[in-house]
A = this chain, B = another copy of it.
């Protein structure tokens, strides 16, 4: 059974990761772990890696290989100028959608009075 969340993440997950990278650079394994801690428990590891490759190919991030004490070298991603533009666009789209859906929700609440 496909969870609601799976479908809802389509389109938003990219923005979420861009927002994380906008705060500070990070690498894939780290991002997956953080998201899982923050409630996205079922997030598939492969999903994050695929997404990172995608946003790299679109030129939203810069990549640097950094050796790790334990394990293979990390690929640290950092948001560049184009990525920041994309992130702003994400916030605009998200705000619009959230506002629209917010209206529906209050209408829903009104109806329950």
Contact = CB atoms under 8 A, between A and B. Distances in A.
Interface of A: 3-12, 14-16, 19-20, 22-23, 38-40, 89-91, 93-94, 96-98, 100-101, 104-105, 107-108, 111
A93 B5 CA distance: 6
A23 to B, nearest CB: 6
Copies of this chain per assembly: 2
Main DSSP-derived SS at the A contact region = helix
A4 B104 contact: no
A9 B11 contact: yes
Contacts of A93: 3-5, 8
Given A107-B23, A108-B19, A111-B23, A8 B94 contact: yes
Nearest to A105: B91
Contacts of A5: 11, 93, 96-97
Contacts of A7: 10-11, 14
Contacts of A10: 7-8, 10-11
